[in-house]
């Protein structure tokens, strides 16, 4: 066994580096060590817990279900029998024991499936939609997400999903079960979440891009877009939607409004003051303001440093205006309470059913440590994330060389779609304590969070899709002043 493990340890770095779910593509693997091997009943398949060390910074722990029957290891999720065994393990509350720990499967009261391993099997396949995890679709009934990167403590996707399921929130899939890895030494790590499958027509990102294609056909027939006095959605949301915007944007205006309402309803559910210490709202103190300000400065400095290393372009004037925008947080009294939130809210985290939206993936930003992703913060962070996603989609609908001829319409679409989303959000949230008491407070928080999200996007694209970095860079320039 030791010889086999040694061979795998030598072969796995190249295998892992080529997987879509591997999160550290910009880092160099120094060493890989197999920490545990969990046997399962399916022939030739084992679940490996591996620890990866890098040439810089802290290491990571990954879960690898592998078939080692062939000459080279390959992903065991491609095996239908193994996929079925994972679903049965959850339904039956099964535990897989190993020498160094155990993988424990359990169900919630929302799962309506008997423990019957000999019963009829559901057709299953591995979804190609995931990037940082892997998801198995079982017919039209279940979806099992496997967390590839394991971190000590409870995963917020599971934690928030269970919380919303228990409260009957209709706009996220119900949590039906879980997989938990318990090492004999150290804290437990969650390895999977079983949820109800929601029939859908794809995510809201795809739906939005399809709508944008139709918008630009209609819009370009009108020549250039009219110049707006302001393109800031917080300012426009107090104005009446002009006829030209309704005519060119079409039905998507109502979709943006519906998504705004669903966002507010999600925040209202998460702000339940009977939710116990992990969920009950808490005041936003001056100390929290200072911490948030430092966090935003760290994001800015990290992004500026990465831009320098990758020869990216952002003027010194733009950089100084970024820091100036964040400094407004230090002087503003914040009345909004801190709540649990989505944490990585964008169009790709929402399913479109054809007439409604279902919110998914509450893990938070993958680059942040799990403990940070569980910290309560201001709901405006989610709102700002969706506004950035609208703008992202508008630019992503065009090739870079085509942007100039249609940029006036890109700005027009993003401004009014964002305004209608915000209008519906604030109408639905009303005077909820997570909103903020004054327009000034809302504006300062909104501007800071939108800018922080754009900086995060620059770092993400430089590390994962360098050809896309022009989109968030252009967004930052527009946010702090078009003259930069």
Q: For residue range 16-72, list pLDDT tens digits in order.
A: 999 989 988 888 999 999 999 999 887 789 999 999 999 998 999 999 999 877 667
Instruction: State the pLDDT at residue 464.
Output: 80
Strands (E), 108-218: 124-126, 134-138, 142-146, 149-150, 175-183, 189-196
- Residues sharing a CB contact under 8 Å with residue 276, sequence separation 6 or more, in sequence order: none
pLDDT at 70: 63
Distance CA 408, CA 381 (A): 27
Residues forming a β-bridge with 126: 136
HSE-up of residue 159 (Cα within 13 Å, Cβ side): 22
- Which residues are paired to 36 by β-bridges? 49
CA 221 to chain centre: 36
8 A C-beta contact, residue 358 and residue 198? yes
Owner of token pair 């800071």: 448
Helix axis angle, 439-464 to 286-309, nearest 10°: 30
Strands 142-146 and 357-359, bridge-based pairing: unpaired
- And the tokens for 99? 């020498």
**What is the model's pLDDT at position 89?**
96
CB 158 within 8 A of CB 175: yes
Give the 3-state secondary structure of residue 432: coil
**Ramachandran region, residue 78 (left: φ > 0; alpha: ψ -120 to 50; beta: rest):** alpha
Q: Which residues of the chain have pLDDT under 70?
A: 1-4, 70-71, 130, 312, 482-484
pLDDT at 453: 93
Cα–Cα distance for residue pair 134/131, rounded to 1 Å: 7
Pair of tokens at residue 151: 């971190």
Take residue 129 and report the two structure tokens written for it.
Answer: 């939609």
Q: Give, for 63, the enclosing helix (H) or strand (E).
A: strand 60-67
Cβ pair 182, 96 in contact under 8 A:
no
**What DSSP assignment string belongs to 83-131?**
HHHHHHHHHHT-EEE-SSEEEEEEE-TT------TTSPPPPEEE-SS-S
For residue range 375-394, list pLDDT tens digits in order. 999 999 999 999 999 999 99
Say if residue 417 is exposed, middle or buried (CB neighbours under 10 Å; 0-12, 13-18, 19+): buried
Q: Residue 128's beta-bridge partner residues?
A: none
Q: How many CA atoms lie within 13 A of 259 on its CB side?
A: 36
Tokens of 266: 């999600």
Distance between CA atoms of residues 17 and 26, nearest Å: 10
Burial class (CB in 10 A: 0-12, 13-18, 19+), 11: middle
Which one, of 213, 187, 340, 222, lies nearest residue 271 by Cα?
340
Fold of 204-480: Aminoglycoside 3'-phosphotransferase; Chain: A, domain 2 (3.90.1200)
> Radius of gyration over alpha carbons of the chain, in Å?
23
Name 338's Cβ contacts closer than 8 Å, sequence gap at least 6.
Answer: 281, 282, 283, 284, 288, 376, 377, 378
Positive or negative torsion for Cα 392, 396, 400, 403: negative
41-77 b/e (C-beta count within 10 Å ≥ 16 → b)? ebeebbbbbbebeeeeeeebbbbbbbbbeeeebebbb
User: Measuring CA to CA, which residue among 77, 72, 47 is closest to residue 62?
Assistant: 47
Eight-class DSSP state of 180: E
Domains in the chain: boundaries: 2-196, 204-480
And the tokens for 327? 């400094």
Q: How far apart are CA 414 and CA 395, in angstroms?
A: 9
pLDDT, residue 1, reads 44
DSSP, collapsed to helix, strand or coil, labels residue 82 as helix
Nearest to 134 by CA among 83, 204, 172: 83
The helix or strand, by DSSP H or E, that contains position 66, with its residue range, turns out to be strand 60-67
């Amino acid at each position: 066994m030791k010889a086999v493990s040694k061979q795998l340890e030598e072969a796995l770095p190249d295998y892992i580096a080529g997987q879509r779910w591997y999160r550290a593509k910009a880092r160099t693997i120094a060493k890989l060590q197999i920490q545990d091997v969990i046997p399962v009943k399916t022939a030739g398949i084992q679940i490996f817990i591996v620890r990866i060390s890098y040439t810089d910074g802290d290491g990571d722990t990954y879960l690898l279900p592998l078939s080692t029957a062939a000459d080279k290891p390959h992903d065991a999720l491609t095996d239908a029998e193994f996929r079925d065994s994972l679903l049965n393990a959850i339904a039956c509350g099964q535990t897989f024991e190993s020498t160094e720990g155990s993988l424990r499967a359990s169900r919630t009261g929302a799962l309506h499936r008997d423990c019957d391993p000999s019963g009829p099997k559901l057709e299953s396949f591995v979804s190609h939609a995931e990037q940082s995890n892997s998801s198995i679709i079982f017919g039209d009934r279940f979806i099992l997400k496997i967390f590839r990167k394991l971190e000590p403590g409870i995963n917020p996707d599971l934690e928030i999903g269970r919380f919303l399921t228990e409260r009957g929130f209709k706009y996220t899939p119900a949590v039906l079960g879980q997989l938990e890895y318990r090492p004999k030494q150290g804290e437990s790590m969650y390895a999977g979440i079983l949820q109800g499958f929601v029939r859908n027509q794809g995510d809201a990102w795809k739906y939005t891009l399809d709508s944008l294609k139709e918008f630009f056909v209609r819009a370009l027939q009108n020549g250039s877009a009219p110049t707006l006095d302001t393109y800031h959605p917080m300012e426009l949301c107090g104005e009446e939607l002009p006829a030209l915007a309704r005519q060119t944007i079409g039905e998507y205006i109502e979709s943006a409004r519906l998504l705004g309402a669903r966002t507010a309803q999600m925040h209202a559910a998460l702000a339940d003051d009977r939710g116990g210490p992990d969920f009950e709202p808490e005041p936003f103190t001056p100390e929290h303001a200072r911490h948030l300000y430092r966090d935003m400065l760290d994001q800015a400095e990290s992004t500026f440093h990465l831009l320098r290393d990758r020869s990216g372009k952002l003027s010194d004037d733009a950089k100084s205006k970024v820091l100036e925008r964040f400094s407004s947080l230090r002087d503003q009294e914040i009345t909004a309470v801190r709540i649990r939130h989505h944490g990585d809210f964008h169009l790709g985290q929402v399913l479109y059913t054809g007439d409604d939206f279902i919110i998914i993936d509450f893990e938070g930003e993958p680059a942040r440590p799990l403990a940070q992703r569980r910290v309560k913060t201001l709901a405006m962070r989610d709102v700002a994330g969706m506004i950035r996603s609208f703008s992202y989609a508008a630019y992503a609908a065009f090739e870079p060389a085509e942007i100039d001829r249609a940029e006036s319409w890109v700005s027009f679409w993003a401004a009014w779609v964002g305004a209608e989303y915000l209008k519906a959000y604030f109408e639905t949230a009303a005077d909820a304590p997570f909103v903020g008491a004054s327009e000034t407070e809302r504006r300062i928080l909104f501007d800071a969070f939108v800018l922080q999200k754009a900086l995060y996007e620059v770092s993400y694209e430089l590390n994962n899709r360098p050809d896309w970095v022009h989109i968030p860079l252009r967004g930052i320039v527009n946010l702090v002043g078009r003259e930069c």
